[in-house]
Amino acid sequence: GERLRVTGKIPGLRVSGGDRLQVASVSEDAMTVVVPGRAEPATLPVADSPFTALKLENGWVETPGHSVSDSATVFASVTQMAMDNATLNGLARSGRDVRLYSSLDETRTAEKLARHPSFTVVSEQIKARAGETS
């Protein structure tokens, strides 16, 4: 069930870089994957050389805004330089529950997020639910 992303050409399988696959089964010498939009799973030979190895990577990490989910929790680690409106907009499009880890201190992170309409800081959410005003 592991999600994988194609990073290069895979002999015998018509996929492009960035396509997603899901692992159906793994054996000593082959991996069977489900390709979205295809009826039959594909069996790929597993190799032990970097020249013949499958060109795949873990499909759990992606750029902000690449996919959208109302049920997924989005974890993001953001540097001070990257905490701009474009990044925050991408994260906001990625899902409803975004967990942001920042290199900024808590006060500066809260100030930046307060200026963005799609984000509320956890401490503010707790205060709101507890009925506190500040």
Give the dihedral sign, CA 60/64/67/69.
Answer: positive
Which of 13-27, 52-66, 106-120 shows the highest mean pLDDT?
A: 13-27
The residue with greater pLDDT, 57 or 127, is 57
The whole-angstrom separation of Cα 11 and Cα 32 is 14
The residue with greater pLDDT, 126 or 101, is 101
Q: How many CB atoms lie within 10 A of CB 103?
A: 13
User: Given this model, what pLDDT does residue 32 score?
Assistant: 94
The residue with greater pLDDT, 22 or 123, is 22
User: Given this model, what pLDDT does residue 73 score?
Assistant: 81
Q: Buried (b) or exposed (e) across 69-87, using 16+ Cβ within 10 A?
A: eeeeebebebeeeebeeeb
Per-residue pLDDT tens for 29-39?
Answer: 899 999 888 88
Compute the mean pLDDT over every residue in the chain, rounded to the nearest whole number. 82
Per-residue pLDDT tens for 50-97?
Answer: 777 888 888 777 777 777 777 778 888 888 888 888 888 888 888 888
Domain boundaries, the chain: 3-58, 73-130
Is residue 15 within 8 A of residue 35, CB to CB? The reply is: yes
Give the mean pLDDT of 101-122.
79
